């Protein structure tokens, strides 16, 4: 019976077919998004329990939305309950990093052609200070205003002019061009840019605006990831709601807690304190500066991309502190947890093997093998932003709680041969190089 | 003294900085290109000695140029000496495959910013029947006319509108995106397309023509290779003319013979019968259909790209019948022959090592290590075109003759430990998989 439900989940996930259909104001496509509500990375957080970094992102969003004229005013309103918060994944949206979605912010709209579901994500802001990294100043707000007033309507028109953009095709090709589609999206961004350029050529001529749009995207190598998070979520959502199924269909970290949802346990989040990613920090920063993991992008690995296909992206290895051997091991671990291989997303460096689709929480619990995610590392203090890149895993206890809830008190048999020790993710397992010797030990889980 | 001249050659080669500056009619940039002259892949050939496949390409070129109205008429004129032939590499041009350059054909103009040299190549024709593969019918001629009358002037204007396009930047990035820059140029083509799109946006609006141009390039994944051959040749030419230097500065195959030039031996070609590439043939063809190697693209590997960096392009391996182990070995062999590593062209899958720059013919002769080239396989009969892809090496005797001429009768000491056997390139050395078991044995060299 378990293999039956996993088979149903697998077939639904690989049928998911993401297409970029437009860039619209969030309130148009997310009906529940009232003006004083800010959507953030899962699991759900309150202002009182929110991390400092995420608070920085939220006050910036409130200023962009015109709810407050300063960070202090936004903080006071949030503390008084005048600004509300919810997890983006509970509202048809995705929020990478400490990013946020508010009513007037433009979002990329991704439709699953296999079932009509949609998912959305904000436009990536590029290099320098960004709201997605928790920074907010006049430059950040001016860029977001340009997104809202100029870039988003232009991209929306270009996407419609070409009849939508097939993301599955781009993602499949990008995996043969050195992208793993989480923290490396250079080839995919170039392919998206080509399609957008064709669309722009069909619009009334406005060369300087068109050129600024193309130049911005060309200078934003992670632009495409704003479509990958929704595409990954659509794959997970296709498998949601199967009774008895332990496949992960929601996963995220909000800078304080990490949480997961399973297919068979409805909309409940199973949470535990998020770990601090270990990796490569920029000069001048040390591990004590690093914030716990944050962002809905953990869904990328749950879908079978990102670190699960890290052998596809050798140029990313040194940036996150991984070795070739580590990359092979993360993929092998992901295969241990997966339902099967993806027929479209194939990795030439692995002899054309398909990406490992899905994470079966029962296998996580039974084997103590955790998904590995490559991720941006943010500073603990708001306003500083990204300080490095590395790897992180969700705590084992999230999976143990979720499986117990699904199976009504089910307690996994501990394997005799592979004691987990005191650490959820032994540093030795992550295959990190010597630069990471000073990394913070993994959080101990009960 | 030998290391001194190699050091000079190495420094000149890595200083070479290719920039795409325009697309012009060939006669404008190649002053010696009179109307009845057809340039083809080196070494120089005559109509009487030319292979059937190359004759097919040459008669097509004569028809495009209006020298003859049929293939039969072109052949008769060639036999009578009314149409002349010369090696493109001897005239500032490059001819991939059995392609050709005639006076009115548009060529991509590549300038070496470090020394002002230029090199040129025709526009790649895409999929289906093509002159570069030796086929010529009404469709092929119509496409070339569209190149001449519409596409080339448009691309020329777009390139000028962005002030030229830095190829070194694109090539360096492409090596991190799964291209080896000989038979895989997908990422590089996308990057070039992005730059051209920006240029097109600044031109007077003609959306349908602009869109047709972008769509054509987007559907031609090898479009960029038309810039790689000149860029490779510029790197080789930078090292040409150093007294006593045995670095290969010219190399090509014309479907019958293979030839090389050395830095220290002027413009003399040292030739031997070209081998038939071994690899993967399309269904319905067998090794007896395959023509000997043809094209100036052997310069790509002599510069240190293509099969010399095959570990960069895992998606190409199955198409040419190579394994991961083979890819590593061709790179190691290229390192054996090379002058040093390229500071810009680096391979993430090899820990960021630089591409192996240059081929020292003395080391070829002393170690019996031959450059390995990945290459299109053409049919022996004209008009059929490409039937597969594979690997080939230039015959050892070319290098032995050239080194002997350079050193005035120098005879290399045969290494005791590694007898070459009867075959110039033992099949076992090429690391080809079992699909190649029926491949034609390597040509025996004296």
- How far B84 CA lies from chain A's nearest CA (Å)? 42
Rounded distance between C-alpha atoms, residue A191 and residue A271, angstroms? 37
List the single residue in B with minimal CA-CA distance to A311: B349
Range of the domain at A383: 239-436
pLDDT by position in tens, chain B (length 446): 557 999 999 999 999 999 999 999 999 999 889 999 999 999 999 999 999 989 999 999 999 999 999 999 999 999 999 999 999 999 999 999 999 999 999 999 999 999 999 999 999 999 888 999 888 899 999 999 999 999 999 999 999 999 999 999 999 999 999 999 999 999 999 999 999 999 998 888 788 899 999 999 999 999 999 999 999 999 999 999 999 999 999 999 999 999 999 999 999 999 999 999 999 999 999 999 999 999 999 999 999 999 999 999 999 999 999 999 999 999 999 999 999 999 999 999 999 999 999 999 999 999 999 999 999 999 998 888 899 999 999 999 999 999 999 998 544 443 433 333 333 333 333 433 333 333 333 333 33
For residues B256 and B124, membership in a common domain is answered with no
Q: Are B208 and B281 part of one and the same domain?
A: no
Question: Nearest chain B Cα to A202, which residue?
Answer: B207
With respect to residue B105, please indicate whether it lies within any of the assigned structural domains.
Answer: yes
Q: Do A190 and B186 touch (CB under 8 A)?
A: no
Domain co-membership, B80 together with B151: yes
| Calpha distance A210→A377 (Å, rounded) | 33
Among A227, A256, A285, residue at a domain's last position: A227
CATH number at residue A189: 3.90.1710.10
Query: CB–CB of A201 and B186 under 8 A?
Result: no
Residues of A with CB under 8 A from a CB of B: 173, 176-179, 186-187, 190-191, 193-194, 197-198, 200-202, 205, 207, 210-211, 214-215, 218, 314-315, 317-318, 324, 348-349, 352
Query: Which residues in chain A have their CB less than 8 angstroms from residue B309's CB?
Result: none
Residue A234 lies in a domain: no
Query: Does residue B267 share a domain with residue B406?
Result: yes
Q: Are residues B72 and B179 in the same domain?
A: yes
Claim to verify: residue A309 and residue A377 sit in the same structural domain: yes
User: Residue A215's closest chain B neighbor by CA?
Assistant: B198
Contact A345, A180 (CB under 8 A): no
Q: Are residues A28 and A153 in the same domain?
A: yes
Which 3 state secondary structure label does DSSP give B24? strand
Q: Are residues A213 and A266 in the same domain?
A: no
Point out the domain boundary residue: B227, B254, B269. Answer: B227
More confident residue, A366 or B134: A366
Domain membership flag for residue B277: yes
Q: Where are the beta strands (DSSP E) in B70-194?
A: 84-87, 93-94, 106-112, 118-122, 165-166
Residues A295 and A359 reside in one and the same domain: yes
The structure's pTM equals: 0.89
Question: CB burial class (10 A; 0-12, 13-18, 19+) of residue A328?
Answer: middle
Whole-angstrom CA distances from A383 to A133, A144, A269 are: 8, 16, 28
Domain contains B283: yes
Report phi then psi at A272, rounded to 5: -160, 160
CATH number, domain of A352, equals 3.90.1700.10
B292 and B196 in one domain?
Answer: no
Residues of A in contact with B193 (CB under 8 A): 194, 197
Contacts of A362 (CB under 8 A, 6+ apart): A2, A246, A403, A412
Which residue in A178, A205, A218 is closest to B176 by CB distance? A178
Q: Do B194 and A198 touch (CB under 8 A)?
A: no
Give yes or no: residues B111 and B258 share one domain: no
Q: What is the CA radius of gyration of chain A?
A: 20
Nearest by CB: A186 against B177, B198, B314: B177
Whether residue B201 and residue A197 make contact (CB cut-off 8 A), yes or no, is: yes
> Can you read off the two tokens belonging to residue B360?
């020292």
Instruction: Answer whether B57's CB lies under 8 Å from B134's CB.
Output: yes
The DSSP symbol for A301 reads: H
Number of cross-chain residue pairs from A and B with Cβ atoms under 8 Å apart = 91
State the Cα–Cα distance between residues B310 and B322, nearest whole angstrom.
9
Q: ipTM > 0.90? A: no
- Closest residue by Cα to residue A236 from A134, A325, A359, A135: A359
Whether A36 is in a domain gets the answer: yes
User: What pLDDT does A122 receive?
Assistant: 98
Q: Is A207 in Cβ contact with B201 (below 8 Å)? A: yes
Last residue of a domain, one of B172, B205, B227: B227
A386 within domain boundaries: yes
Residue B6 falls within a domain, yes or no? no
Residues of A in contact with B197 (CB under 8 A): 193-194, 197-198, 201, 214
| Cβ atoms of residues A426 and A443 within 8 Å | no
If you measure CA to CA, which chain A residue comes closest to B311?
A349
Domain count, chain B: 2
- First and final CA of chain B: distance in angstroms? 30
Q: pLDDT-based confidence at A385, cuts 50/70/90?
A: confident
Closest alpha carbon to A217 in A124, A95, A115: A124
Q: What is the pLDDT of residues A323-343, one digit of tens each?
A: 999 999 999 999 999 999 999
Q: Which of B173, B210, B218 sits opposite A194 (nearest CB)?
A: B218
Same-domain pairing of B207 and B346: no
- Residue B233 resides in a domain: no
Closest CA to B300 of B181, B153, B137, B424: B181
Q: What is the pLDDT of residue B2?
A: 56
């Amino acid at each position: 019976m378990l293999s039956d439900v996993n088979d149903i989940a697998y077939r639904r996930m690989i049928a998911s077919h993401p297409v970029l259909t437009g860039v619209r104001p969030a309130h148009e496509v997310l009906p529940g998004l009232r003006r004083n509500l800010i959507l953030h990375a899962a699991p759900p957080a309150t202002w009182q329990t929110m991390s400092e970094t995420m608070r920085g992102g939220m006050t910036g969003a409130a200023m962009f939305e015109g709810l407050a004229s300063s960070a202090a005013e936004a903080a006071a309103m949030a503390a008084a309950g005048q600004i509300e918060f919810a997890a983006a994944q509970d509202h048809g949206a995705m929020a990478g990093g400490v990013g946020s979605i508010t009513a007037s912010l433009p979002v990329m709209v991704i439709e699953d052609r296999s079932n009509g579901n949609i998912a959305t994500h904000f436009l990536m802001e590029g290099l320098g200070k960004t709201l997605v990294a928790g920074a907010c100043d006049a430059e950040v707000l001016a860029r977001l205003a340009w997104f809202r007033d100029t870039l988003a309507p232009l991209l929306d028109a270009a996407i419609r002019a070409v009849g939508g953009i097939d993301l599955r095709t781009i993602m499949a090709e990008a995996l043969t061009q050195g992208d793993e589609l989480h923290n490396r999206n250079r080839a995919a961004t170039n392919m998206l840019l080509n399609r957008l350029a064709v669309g722009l050529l069909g619009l009334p001529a406005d060369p300087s605006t068109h050129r600024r749009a193309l130049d911005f995207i060309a200078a934003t190598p992670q632009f495409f990831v704003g479509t990958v998070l929704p595409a990954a979520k659509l794959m997970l959502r296709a498998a949601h709601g199967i009774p008895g199924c332990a496949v992960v269909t929601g996963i995220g970290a909000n800078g304080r807690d990490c949480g997961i949802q399973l297919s068979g346990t409805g909309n409940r989040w199973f949470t535990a304190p998020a770990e601090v990613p270990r990796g490569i920090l920029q000069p001048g920063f040390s591990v004590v500066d690093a914030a716990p993991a944050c962002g809905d992008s953990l869904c990328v690995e749950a879908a079978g991309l990102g670190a699960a296909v890290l052998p596809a992206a050798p140029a990313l290895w040194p940036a996150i502190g991984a070795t070739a051997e580590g990359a092979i091991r993360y993929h092998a671990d992901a295969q241990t947890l997966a339902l099967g291989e993806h027929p479209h997303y194939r990795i030439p460096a692995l002899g054309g093997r398909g990406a490992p689709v899905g994470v079966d929480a029962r296998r996580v619990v039974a084997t103590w093998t955790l998904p590995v995610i490559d991720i941006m590392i943010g500073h603990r203090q708001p306003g500083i932003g990204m300080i490095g890149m590395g790897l992180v895993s969700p705590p084992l206890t999230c999976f143990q709680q979720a499986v117990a809830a699904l199976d009504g008190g089910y307690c996994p048999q501990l394997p005799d041969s592979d004691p987990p020790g005191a650490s959820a993710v032994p540093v030795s397992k992550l295959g990190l190089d010597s630069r990471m010797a000073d990394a913070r030990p993994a959080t101990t889980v009960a």
